[in-house]
């Protein structure tokens, strides 16, 4: 045994310093050992092992496969949990890529269950339960995950269930419907699908970019040029309204066709790069699409990959990223990597940068109780103190994408081994209406309508004759005529009093704190959103000193580019 004798305070300080350095080095070694992503093919097994651990930690946020829980979704939507419906679809896609690139089928049954549970009544990923937050981009994320499942031959569902390719076609067909492409701003899809949803009047690049992406991939998979025609049209529209500028910057959206919101989000660039790469492949390497792919990649790396590490520039520098935005980086890594397989000329530019970004991502995975949870700010190469499904999904996407180089296989098509069964007419049945969901009228509906019509007619005539029976009350009882007239006067007075007590029909100023119904100028001073009530306004009468009526305010919770 070695005896350490501390003779002076200096010796004590030096010993403490040495022990601290050793501890730090050991901790660093432990992290490197847990998430090894070496730079050559010999490290493929270590990368798979690292991905396996990251995937396990990611799926710890998912409870859809537990008794009493809803398959396919992460905890939510708010206020029930942090995550909106769409991010469950994004998770399914990440786990399909995980299986494809690692060969680990541990979560396949869970993914299949979740993907099929959320298809909705019409098998088009428009479940009624999530209509309140159903955007075109939300639906498309599920559709793109189904498309991915077809492209990598993810195990097909049972024959009595919708198939991956048909689900992707269903989503595309619903979004290609004329009702989704109105004349506002010369075409293009709105952000939200139901008219009642906040953001319905906003047209944005991610919703239209996802539609473009699916069109390009369906064209390549099926060989059907109709999908490619849609993709061409969508690209042209995005450029015509200024969402994509001459330098290939992609802006978030606009509310009135002129006031463009110039926020930049990485996943919009990623979805467009993958779509353009598929169009390049489908057109047998056309110069036009090659130039577009190159332009998009240059803009992507110059905007988001500062020092070769991805940064969510719209929110990360000032810590304002929403839960949605905390998951964008992983999609970019996955989609850019896949783009290199259908547009091979991009490999030399893309893969080295993505590796450096992945190395920075892994360096943040030192948090949580187990010391391996991943952070969001990769540029610091340190854990930033915040954990979540988005952060884990990001790093999983970055790490698994490193395995793509080993296989170099492009996504399958129905002529290169793809086995998923399609349905060109999928999704062409009844769709989301402005007021909700409608369906075909059945014989039962007709019978019920007939019954209600007859019943209403009977009630109307009964009420009519009842009124007639009371109209001669004064003539039938002349002695009591004065009493009847007095009673009616009192009744009219009560009715007026009740109407007055009901308060003013003023302006809905929208504040849960209780804004006053008052003049337009006073409401404007409060800066509140205004929504006229259905019955219009009832002005105050002169000399009326009744207290002002309090009404709840409608918080402006929505911001363009975010679902939160």
Give residue-wise pLDDT tens across range 219-266. 999 999 999 999 999 999 999 999 999 999 999 999 988 899 999 999
Asked whether the beta carbons of 171 and 136 are under 8 A apart, the reply is: no
Residue 331 backbone dihedrals phi, psi, to 5 degrees: -65, -40
pLDDT for the residue 452: 60
* Cβ–Cβ < 8 Å for 126, 432: yes
- Lowest model confidence (mean pLDDT) among 7-11, 268-272, 279-283: 7-11
Q: What CATH number should be reported for the domain holding residue 131?
A: 1.50.10.20
Q: What is the pLDDT of residue 449?
A: 52
- List the Cα angle 491/496/501 in 5-degree steps: 125
pLDDT at 395 over 70: yes
Q: Which pLDDT band holds residue 554 (cuts at 50, 70, 90)?
A: very low
Strand ranges (DSSP E) for 281-349?
305-306, 309-310
In-domain check, residue 483: no
The whole-angstrom separation of Cα 504 and Cα 551 is 10
Judge whether residue 147 has pLDDT over 80: yes
Q: How many other C-beta atoms can be found within 10 angstroms of the C-beta atom of residue 206?
A: 23
Domain boundary among 397, 423, 449: 423
CA neighbor of 364 nearest in space, from 383, 380, 377, 379: 383
131 contacts: CB under 8 Å, gap ≥ 6: 193, 194, 432, 436, 437
Same domain, 314 and 364: yes
pLDDT digits (tens, 9 = 90+) for 403-457: 987 667 899 999 999 999 999 999 997 655 544 433 444 555 555 555 666 766 6
Residue at 495 is within a domain: no
- For residues 331 and 345, state if they share a domain: yes
Give the domain-ending residue among 399, 423, 447. 423
What number of residues does the chain have?
564
- Best-predicted range by mean pLDDT (5-14, 19-28, 109-118): 109-118
What pLDDT is stored for residue 148 in this prediction?
99
- 242 neighbors 307 (Cβ within 8 angstroms): no
Q: Please, which contacts does 371-379 make with residues 24 or more away whose CB atoms are closer than 8 Å?
A: 371/30, 371/31, 372/31, 372/34, 372/35, 372/53, 372/57, 373/57, 374/54, 374/57, 376/316, 376/321, 376/326, 376/329, 377/316, 378/309, 378/310, 378/311, 378/329, 379/306, 379/307, 379/309, 379/311
Q: What percent of the chain has pLDDT over 90?
A: 66
Structure tokens at 271: 């979805």
Residue 472 included in any domain: no
Q: Are 43 and 37 in contact (CB under 8 A)?
A: yes
- Say whether pLDDT at 268 is over 90: yes
Task: For residue range 201-228, list pLDDT tens digits in order.
Answer: 999 999 999 999 999 999 999 999 999 9
- Rounded Cα–Cα distance for residues 58 and 67 (Å): 19
* 491 vs 276 pLDDT, higher one: 276
- Tracing tokens 């993907």 back to the chain, one arrives at 115
Angle at 504 between CA 502 and CA 506, to 5 degrees: 140
Number of domains making up the chain: 3
* pLDDT tens-place string over residues 444-488: 555 555 566 676 667 766 666 666 665 444 444 555 555 545 654
Same domain, 77 and 128: yes
Range of the structural domain that residue 12 is part of: 1-34
- pLDDT tier, 537 (very low <50, low <70, confident <90, very high otherwise): very low
Task: Tell me, yes or no, whether 433 lies in a domain.
Answer: no
Do 118 and 160 fall into the same domain? Answer: yes
Whether 373 is covered by a domain: the verdict is yes
Question: What b/e readout covers 335-356, taking b as 16+ CB neighbours within 10 angstroms?
Answer: bbbbbbbbbeebbeebbebbbe
Cα first-last separation, the chain:
62
More confident position, 510 or 154: 154
SS3 assignment, position 550: strand
Q: What is the DSSP letter of 373?
A: B
Asked whether residue 76 falls in the same domain as residue 160, the answer is yes
The whole-number pLDDT of residue 489 equals 52
**Distance between CA atoms of residues 120 and 211, nearest Å:** 19
3 in the same domain as 151: no
- Six-digit token string for 108: 């396949």
Boundary residue ending a domain (359, 388, 423): 423
CA nearest neighbour of 425 among 139, 124, 135: 124
Both 311 and 223 in one domain: the answer is yes
499, burial (CB in 10 Å: exposed 0-12, middle 13-18, buried 19+):
exposed
Is residue 82 included in any domain, yes or no? yes
Block residue for tokens 């009526």: 549
Same-domain status, 91 and 213: yes
pLDDT at res. 189: 97
Rounded distance between C-alpha atoms, residue 32 and residue 38, angstroms:
10
- C-alpha distances (whole Å) from 276 to each of 345, 397, 403 are 13, 20, 23
Residue 272 has pLDDT above 60, yes or no: yes
Max mean pLDDT range (33-37, 174-178, 451-455, 514-518):
174-178
351 and 202 in a common domain: yes
Instruction: Note whether 122 and 213 are same-domain residues.
Output: yes
DSSP structure class, residue 181: S
**Does the residue 481 lie in any domain?**
no
The pLDDT value given to residue 483: 56
DSSP codes, 417-456: T------TTTT-SS-EETTEE-----HHHHHHHHHHHHHH
**Residues 378, 343 share a domain:** yes
Whether residues 269 and 346 fall in one domain: yes
- Does 191 map to a domain? yes
């Amino acid at each position: 045994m070695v005896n350490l004798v501390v003779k002076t305070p200096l010796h004590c300080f030096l010993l403490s310093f040495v022990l601290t350095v050793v501890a730090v080095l050991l901790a660093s070694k432990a992290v490197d050992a847990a998430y090894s992503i070496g730079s050559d093919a010999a490290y493929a097994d270590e990368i798979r092992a690292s991905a396996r651990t990251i995937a396990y930690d990611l799926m710890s946020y998912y409870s859809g496969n537990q008794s009493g829980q809803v398959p396919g979704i992460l905890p939510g939507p708010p206020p029930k949990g942090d995550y909106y419906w769409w991010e469950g679809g994004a998770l399914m896609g990440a786990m399909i890529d995980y299986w494809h690139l690692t060969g680990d089928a541990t979560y396949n049954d869970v993914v299949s269950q979740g993907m099929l549970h959320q298809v909705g009544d019409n098998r088009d990923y428009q479940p009624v339960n999530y209509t309140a937050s159903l955007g075109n981009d939300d639906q498309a994320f599920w559709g793109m995950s189904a498309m991915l499942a077809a492209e990598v031959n993810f195990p097909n569902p049972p024959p009595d269930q919708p198939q991956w390719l048909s689900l992707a076609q269903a989503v595309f067909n619903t979004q290609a419907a004329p009702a989704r492409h109105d004349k506002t701003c010369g075409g293009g899809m709105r952000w939200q699908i139901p008219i009642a949803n906040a953001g319905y009047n906003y047209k944005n690049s991610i919703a239209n970019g996802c539609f473009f992406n699916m069109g390009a991939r369906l064209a390549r998979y099926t060989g059907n040029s109709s999908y490619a025609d849609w993709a061409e049209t969508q690209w042209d529209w995005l450029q015509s309204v200024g969402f994509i500028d001459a330098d290939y910057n992609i802006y978030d959206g606009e509310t009135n066709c002129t006031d463009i919101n110039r926020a930049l989000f990485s996943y919009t660039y990623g979805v467009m790069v993958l779509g353009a790469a598929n169009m390049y492949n489908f057109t047998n390497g056309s110069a036009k699409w090659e130039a577009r792919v190159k332009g998009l990649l240059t803009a992507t790396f110059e905007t988001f990959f500062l020092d070769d590490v991805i940064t969510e520039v719209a929110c990360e520098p000032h810590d304002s990223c929403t839960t949605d935005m905390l998951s964008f980086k992983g999609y970019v890594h996955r989609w850019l990597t896949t783009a290199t397989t259908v547009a091979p000329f991009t490999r030399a530019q893309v893969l080295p940068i993505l590796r450096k970004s992945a190395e920075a991502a892994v360096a943040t995975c030192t948090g949580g109780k187990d010391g391996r949870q991943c952070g969001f700010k990769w540029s610091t190469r340190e854990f930033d103190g915040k954990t979540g499904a988005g952060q884990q999904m990001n790093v999983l996407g970055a790490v698994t994408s490193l395995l793509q180089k080993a296989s170099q296989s492009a996504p399958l098509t129905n002529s290169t081994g793809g086995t998923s069964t399609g349905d060109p007419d999928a999704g062409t049945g009844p769709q989301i209406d402005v007021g909700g969901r409608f369906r075909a009228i059945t014989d039962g509906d007709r019978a019920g309508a007939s019954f209600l019509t007859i019943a209403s007619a009977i009630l109307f005539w009964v009420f009519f004759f009842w009124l007639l029976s009371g109209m001669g009350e004064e003539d039938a009882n002349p002695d009591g005529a004065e009493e009847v007239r007095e009673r009616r006067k009192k009744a009219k007075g009560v009715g007026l009093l009740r109407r007055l007590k009901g308060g003013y029909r003023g302006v809905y100023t929208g504040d849960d704190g209780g804004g006053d119904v008052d003049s337009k100028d006073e409401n404007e001073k409060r800066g509140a959103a205004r929504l006229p009530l259905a019955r219009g306004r009832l002005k105050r009468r002169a000399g009326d000193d009744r207290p002002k009526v309090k009404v709840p305010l409608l918080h402006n919770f929505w911001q363009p580019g975010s679902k939160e």
